[in-house]
Amino acid sequence: MATVQEIAQIFPAMATRLIADKAQGVNATIQFNLSGDNGGMFWLKIADGTCEAGEGAAENPKMTLKAAADDWYAVSTGKMNPMQAFMSGKIKIEGDMGMAMKLQTMFAQG
């Protein structure tokens, strides 16, 4: 099980791994609602080829991803395939599904 600190570190790490070319034209806030003892609310703001990360509720997110914190940790560390996690219901998406598909390609693997 990932610790609260390990979960919280995912998002600043993702922000540094944004592939600017793949994020061209993207101007969106993505909310992550992670459940479980080690979960919490986090967000990524992508605009002009840059990415910023933070904690808490985002204002007007274009997409919200809901998952157990441990499942998202497994996806973000490459231990679980994001598409399989989605198809098996471990990840739920609300809002812009196209953004969810782009999310997979906009970040280099950590």
Dmax of the chain from CA atoms? 36
- Whole-number Å distance between alpha carbons of 27 and 84: 27
Residue 46 in tokens? 């992508």
- Buried/exposed code over 63-77 (b: 16+ C-beta within 10 A; e: otherwise): bbbbbbbbbbbbbbe
What whole-number distance in Å separates Cα of residue 98 and Cα of residue 33?
A: 19
Looking at CATH, the fold of the domain delimited by 4-106 is given as Nonspecific Lipid-transfer Protein; Chain A (3.30.1050)
Q: Give the pLDDT of residue 109.
A: 75
Please state the separation of Cα 8 from the chain's center in Å.
11
pLDDT tier for residue 104 given thresholds of 50, 70 and 90: confident
Task: Give the Cβ contact number of residue 40 at 10 Å.
Answer: 16
Convert the pLDDT of each residue in 28-74 to its tens digit: 999 999 999 999 999 999 998 999 999 999 999 999 999 999 999 99
